[in-house]
Amino acid sequence: MARHFAVPGQIVSARPFGSGNVNDTYLVISRTTYSEVRFILQRIRKAVFAEPVNIMRNMRIICDHCHAKMEAEQAEADRVWQLPKIIETEDGADFAIDAQGDLWRAISHIASATAFEMVQNLEHAQEAGEVLGHFQRLISDIPTEKLVYTLPGFHVAPRYLEHLERAATTPLGQTRLAASPEAQDCLAFVLARREKCFVLENAREKGLLPLRPVHGDPKVGNIMIDEETKRGTCIVDLDTVQPGLIHYDIGDCMRSCCNPAGEDAMDLDAVRFDTRLCAAIYRGYFHETRSFVTAAEREYFYEAIHLLPLELGIRFLADYLAGDIYFKVRRPAHNLHRALVQFKLTESVEAQEREVRKILEKD
């Protein structure tokens, strides 16, 4: 599939790249007689994205919009901001379809920058916040009507609760629950927090929170840090950019970047929500977004920081009970363990609610 894309030279390798839980990603090397080009090749999983073409429609709009805006702002910027660009096929299309009907795309590789799987230090956290805020600001003036939903219902927590409750009653769900006291504890943990799942969607329905273009998946592993300057340079993985609440992003970035033990922490006791990291992320984020974020939106930031780890835990647990069909797993009960990590994180947020709220009041 790499050969479909308009890149000079000969393809010499295509190796698995990164650690995505959904799509398949490869780093491809194409050599010419004088140099080489590296690019990213990806297959979109139809099991998750029913209409992969929608991803490419949004991606085209977002890339064109952001690249133009980044270039216009470059003279004033404190760094060279980047965003991968779509590499067209030999026929000038934004993607190629294989014999199985799967969609493949190629994008430019952001070189001399690293996407860490875990937050490294306070500076890294602040950069993560700044990168997310910068991206949200760049896309904030794209009318939401111009974007399609690549993943309908994404981050709508009540929906995930429903999935979980349904998965728990299926024969497989019942078997997995009966075999695991940990899974039973997880389910009880969620049910004790059931009403929390509705907080953001209720506020949205009341008209308190506007729909805006959001990233959807600003986890630490999607944020690239310049190896030279140690500053953030770009956010990758635009698959879930669609209309949503900025709370999904701030909550997801926090749940990912404020847990120094990482999403796959083997030692559950090491999982905690680090408020110093939270303050650093918020500083970077708010620096970029203060121009458009409303007071009402800020009032719900704490709820988002509490909800997103709970929601991801619900998603992992539901997938475990449904037989691991959504998230790729690397070992048995991987999804159950992932859920346990997120619930530990949720508890840690709860225990520090006052402290977190104080951080979010700062201007």
Residue whose entry in the numeric block shows the structure tokens 């929500």: 273
Site string for ligand GN1, 123-152 (x = CB under 6 A): ----------------------------x-
- Indicate the residue among 7 and 318 with the shorter CB distance to ligand GN1: 318
20 binding ligand GN1? (CB under 6 A)? yes
Task: Report which DSSP code applies to 88.
Answer: P
Q: For the segment 194-223, give every residue that binds Mg ion (CB under 5 A).
A: 217
Q: For the segment 216-235, give every residue that binds ligand GN1 (CB under 6 A).
A: 217, 219
Task: Report CA-CA distances (Å) from 178 to 60, 103, 227.
Answer: 47, 39, 48
Stretch that binds ligand GN1, among 17-25, 160-168, 203-211, 269-277 (CB under 6 A): 17-25
The whole-angstrom separation of Cα 229 and Cα 114 is: 11
Q: Report in angstroms how near the CB of residue 57 gets to ligand GN1 at its nearest.
A: 17
Q: Cβ of 178: how many Cβ atoms within 10 Å? A: 10
Q: Do 224 and 234 form a contact (C-beta atoms < 8 A)?
A: yes
Q: For the segment 294-323, give every residue that binds ligand GN1 (CB under 6 A).
A: 312
- Indicate the residue among 21 and 348 with the shorter CB distance to ligand GN1: 21
Residue 350 identity: E
240 binding ligand GN1? (CB under 6 A)? yes
Q: Report in angstroms how near the CB of residue 20 gets to Mg ion at its nearest.
A: 6
The whole-angstrom separation of Cα 68 and Cα 131 is: 17
Query: Choosing among Mg ion, ligand GN1, none, which partner's interface includes residue 263 (Cβ < 5 to 8 Å by kind)?
Result: ligand GN1
Q: Do 298 and 167 form a contact (C-beta atoms < 8 A)?
A: no
Q: How many residues bind Mg ion (CB under 5 A)?
A: 2
262 binding ligand GN1? (CB under 6 A)? no
Q: Residue 35, exposed/middle/buried by CB under 10 A (0-12, 13-18, 19+)? A: exposed
Q: Which residues pair with 99 in a beta bridge?
A: none
Q: Do 274 and 122 form a contact (C-beta atoms < 8 A)?
A: no
Tell me which residue has its CB nearest to ligand GN1. 22
Among 226, 263, 288, 311, binds ligand GN1 (CB under 6 A): 263
Q: For the segment 223-282, give every residue that binds Mg ion (CB under 5 A).
A: 237
- Indicate the residue among 183 and 223 with the shorter CB distance to Mg ion: 223
The whole-angstrom separation of Cα 148 and Cα 201 is: 19
Q: Report in angstroms how near the CB of residue 149 gets to Mg ion at its nearest.
A: 15
Q: Is 166 helix (H, G, I), strand (E, B) or coil?
A: helix
Kindly list the residues in this chain that would bind Mg ion in the complex (CB under 5 A).
Answer: 217, 237
